[in-house]
Amino acid sequence: MSSTALQYTQNGDYLVPNIELNQPQTPLGKYGRMRRMFLKESRPILYNHLLLSGKLYPHLAEIDRTAKDRLDRQMEELLKQNPAPDKAAQQMAWVQHMNALKMQAEEVIRNELIFS
């Protein structure tokens, strides 16, 4: 059994452990941040376990990557099923159509990846 001796710093009347989280400096995307908030608010035990074991950031980065890939694939499939109007002739209709498809795809992603 290996033991790791923690180093402490005196801060007034308290001894504070010198703990450093080793997280990459690349920021999380939208879906990774959504997953982090869900875990923090709805699954605090899992959140703390992932955080303390150093697995939180890799988990959130993987969720973010997977969600972005799935969004791209679902948008392609939805566009095949529901073609968008001509962008040059009907710009606002095209934007409305694309936003509706994106909202539909994101709803699936939130239910299957973020809030599970």
* pLDDT tens figures, 88-109: 999 999 999 999 999 999 999 9
Percent of the chain with pLDDT strictly greater than 70:
92
Q: Which residue has the higher pLDDT, 53 or 69?
A: 69
The answer to whether 19 and 12 are in contact (CB under 8 A) is: no
Split at pLDDT 50, 70, 90, the class of 1 is: very low
Q: Is the pLDDT of residue 12 over 50?
A: yes
* Residue of 50, 39, 3 whose CA lies nearest to 114: 39
What would the two tokens of residue 21 be? 């989280």
pTM (2 d.p.)? 0.75
Q: Is the pLDDT of residue 3 over 80?
A: no
